[in-house]
Amino acid sequence: MQPTLKYFIRQISACAALCVALTTPALAAGYAYITNQASNNVSVIDISKQQVIATIPVGKAPVGVAVSAKLAKVYISNVEGQSISIIDANKFEHLEDFPIKGSPVGLAIAPNSNVLYVADWYEDRILEINLSDMQQQREIHIGKAPAGIIVSPDGKKLYVANRDSNDIAIIDTEKLVVLSRINVGEHPYGLTLSPDGQKLYVVNVYSNTVSLVDTETGQIDTVRVGEHPYCVAVNPNGQYIYVTNTQGDTVSVVDIALKKTIASIHVGGFPEGIAFQAATQQIFVANWFDNTVSVIDASTNKVTASILTGNQSRAFGQFILEPVH
């Protein structure tokens, strides 16, 4: 029996799919952009390969990270260089530096990738920058030493951790005014939101706690974690948060429903930045003392790899660029 036209079409389609799979880079898991404060560069980790594939020079003392899959760009805050470095995420190249008259630390991008928010650590303000032309639009003076910042999923609110004011400022992004303030623990620094935006998780460095804040009611629950906690990440279903403890060299796993720490994972020295990678169900932790990134399997809470990076890795913010499907 002669092969039919339909048969040949199926064979050609299968061959084409195989060719694409063999020739396309492994983009499925994305990339981690790790700021290295002492070496003034960014290590790019291919998550599929679990290795550094590029080292990109940026400004002086890079700390914060924000990524945009839509723009295919990565933004880096250089606290001593008083600038924002822009990285081409397709070519892994440093494009330019945008000067900031201050000391930028925390970064956050609006969900539509139109606006970049910058926390100016020394000048106690938040800057709003238009990403289409990198021009500053507005600014607002906030609490003392603003650090971690994050935008709500609908883009209407910006949450700011004011370290030396011991509070969280909630900003209306349309008017750029403070709607309210929430008192938390001592020295709030890193923060993140649940995927639905209904819970805000705030790390209190000196209190050794995490504040679980209901963003609708303002109700706060407090959970003890490890010594000198710094940053926090949440898993995609919002069931767990993961907190780096810089003076314990650990990551605390907090069960949100139980409102308690259920596990402690030993990682590298002085862990700071942390992010949960959805495609592989892994947690990436930047270790400042060890110049490494620890990789944790979220299903077992075990460290599966240690990746050598640059000098004094920090990766403060949302440093994983997820693939666009």
Of the candidates 103, 112, 111, 110, the one whose C-alpha atom is nearest the C-alpha of residue 84 is 103
Mean pLDDT by 10 residues, the chain (325 residues): 42 41 49 98 97 98 98 98 97 96 96 97 96 91 96 98 97 97 98 97 98 97 98 97 98 98 98 96 97 98 98 98 76
User: 26-321 maps to which CATH number?
Assistant: 2.130.10.10
Answer for the pair 208, 229: CB distance below 8 angstroms, yes or no.
yes
Residue 324 confidence (pLDDT) = 65
Kind of pairing, strands 62-68 and 316-317?
parallel
Nearest Cα to Cα of residue 130 among 152, 112, 103: 112
pLDDT at 206: 98
The pLDDT assigned to 325 comes to 54
- Residues 6 or more apart in contact with residue 8 via CB below 8 angstroms: none
- Provide the 8-state DSSP code for 89: T
Question: What confidence score (pLDDT) does residue 15 get?
Answer: 44
Please state, in angstroms and as integers, the Cα–Cα distance from residue 312 to each residue in 4, 132, 173, 316, following that order: 63, 32, 33, 12
pLDDT of residue 290: 95
Q: What angle (nearest 5°) sits at the alpha carbon of residue 248, between those of residues 247 and 249?
A: 100
Q: Which two tokens stand for residue 17?
A: 């799919």
Segment 176-185 long-range contacts (CB within 8 Å, at least 24 positions apart)? 176/126, 176/128, 176/138, 176/139, 176/140, 177/140, 178/140, 178/142, 180/218, 181/143, 182/213, 182/218, 182/220, 184/211, 184/213, 184/220, 185/209, 185/211, 185/222
Q: What is the pLDDT, as a whole number, of residue 7?
A: 40
DSSP code, position 19? H
Q: Which two tokens stand for residue 290?
A: 């060890």
pLDDT computed for residue 220 by the predictor: 98
| C-alpha closest to that of 152 among 179, 173, 131 | 173
